Structure 1
């Protein structure tokens, strides 16, 4: 990002964090920035466009901190979660103004475009929860995914607030491990009690749509690709010998089950099934199979 544009975003977020979007004027941002008002309008047509850019820029930075890094691929799912929570809290400490703005800004009264950006961030956070819950607990938590995600947000949220508004200091690594352990307590308790779920099961396709995540950015797209391949194979099974067709459909079924989960639980198996599908399927599938490979 251009230095001048980044300076404007940094100044704007300080003002928005102090007074909120509606109470902040462009003139106040100009005063914070120390440049001519026309300089802002060169980069942003309106205060609304500037606010949306703030949400997009810092929101993307936040979720980058919550993604799996290349060196973490071999870690157990619980350790991955604890590590990503640690980085998440590190981001909060580095960008207090942005996080305070997210926590304090009411959705009511905001323009639809701005409200949509806020909702996308929240839905992406829910998808992140679901991804880790599924990776750690597997099929055993499917029934309770809606409740587990809500409770997961509930146990993490107060620690965010303690940093943002009470200026508390924690050992982020220790906190990540502590919260992961409390997640275990919560899941074990729900499964032990056998109480019917309160919240419905998560509609992942709907959540991804709400989060603005297209086919190229998430495994919802991967699941759609696999369903297309299954449909194409089933429409003309005579292209294969019976045994080959059975192997192909078995591989595609396994791919579909994995791709429809919040996260790929068995990446080695997933890649092996892609390779088998590439071997048994027609050449025109290769481009879509490459997309599947990149989704892991």
Structure 2
């Protein structure tokens, strides 16, 4: 991004935070930025386009940082989540102008920005879900989306106390505290099996298509283990487990045959013989595969 465009964005953030979006004029922005109106319209067609660019500036910065963390092989999944939490604290608590602007609800005055915010929030949750899967393993797979949303929700509550009550927060202490609570939640779920509440395939089916093969295989192993642990040792159960093994082997191939996978899914549903627990888990697993 060139210097003038960044100057305009930073001036807009300052003015939108001090005043608001509607009472801030393009002239106000260029005067604070120290550029001409011509320079403004060289980069932005309208004030609305500038507003979109402001939020893109912040969201793109966060997305780039998460990708950098993800690709850092020297970090453990736990360290990646801690770094991500600390970075979010820096973004939210480190820029009072953006925070002030955000508190005024400006993002929800524009449908494009609102959709961008929702999409970005979901991408962040899915990123957290991936780290949670890597940290706790296949046993947490069915509950990984719940866990990611619980972690994200806890973080937002602490931001609330910082924003509304100006309660001081140490980002490193908060990140480590939240990860300890995540341990409590994850191990509690694995030690006391329960049904998940949220399913990524139902809430964001268009994003579930992008799930990595590794993550899907983790979920498939988890479902296979659940079938073995929660059904009677019958010939039907043995056949279902063998069928899951066959599906996993097919999915491991460079170009899996979706016809085979779909056929095996239908066969598994017939073997479930109306068992709602098995049918639910199979349906959720194969939602993006059928």
TM-score norm. by structure 1 comes to 0.62
Please report how far the alpha carbon of residue 205 of structure 1 lies from its aligned counterpart in structure 2 after TM superposition: 5.8
CA distance in 2, matches of 1:14, 1:72: 34
Structure 1 unaligned segments of length 5 or more: list them. 210-219, 224-248, 258-296
1:133 and 1:145 in contact (8 A); partners too: yes
Structure 2 unaligned segments of length 5 or more: list them. 214-247, 257-290
Please list, as runs of the form range in 1=range in 2, the aligned pairs for 1:103-142 lying within 5 A after superposition.
104-105=104-105, 108-110=108-110, 112-142=111-141
How much is the aligned-residue C-alpha RMSD, in angstroms?
3.3
Please report how far the alpha carbon of residue 158 of structure 1 lies from its aligned counterpart in structure 2 after TM superposition: 2.2
Q: 1:108 to 1:84 in 2, by over 3 A?
A: closer
Which is bigger in relative contact order (C-alpha 8 A, separation at least 6)? 1
The 3-state SS of whatever aligns with 1:75 is: coil
Q: 1:177 to 1:128 in 2, by over 3 A?
A: same
1:146 and 1:201 in contact (8 A); partners too: yes
Q: Which residue of 1 aligns with 2:170?
A: 171
Q: Which residue of 1 aligns with 2:74?
A: 74
Q: 1:177 to 1:222 in 2, by over 3 A?
A: closer
Please report how far the alpha carbon of residue 172 of structure 1 lies from its aligned counterpart in structure 2 after TM superposition: 2.2
Q: Which residue of 2 aligns with 1:161?
A: 160
CA deviations on 1:133-169 (whole Å, 9 max, x unpaired) are: 2121222222223322221111111222344444443
2:81 and 2:128 in contact (8 A); partners too: no
Please list, as runs of the form range in 1=range in 2, the aligned pairs for 1:78-227 lying within 5 A after superposition.
78-102=78-102, 104-105=104-105, 108-110=108-110, 112-202=111-201, 206-207=206-207, 220=210
The 3-state SS of whatever aligns with 1:182 is: helix
Q: 1:255 to 1:83 in 2, by over 3 A?
A: farther
Please report how far the alpha carbon of residue 102 of structure 1 lies from its aligned counterpart in structure 2 after TM superposition: 4.2
Q: Which residue of 1 aligns with 2:265?
A: none
CA deviations on 1:154-195 (whole Å, 9 max, x unpaired) are: 111122234444444333222211111111112233344433
Query: How many residues align structurally?
Result: 221
Please list, as runs of the form range in 1=range in 2, the aligned pairs for 1:242-257 lying within 5 A after superposition.
253=252
Q: Which residue of 2 aligns with 1:8?
A: 8
CA distance in 2, matches of 1:180, 1:131: 15
Please list, as runs of the form range in 1=range in 2, the aligned pairs for 1:251-290 lying within 5 A after superposition.
253=252
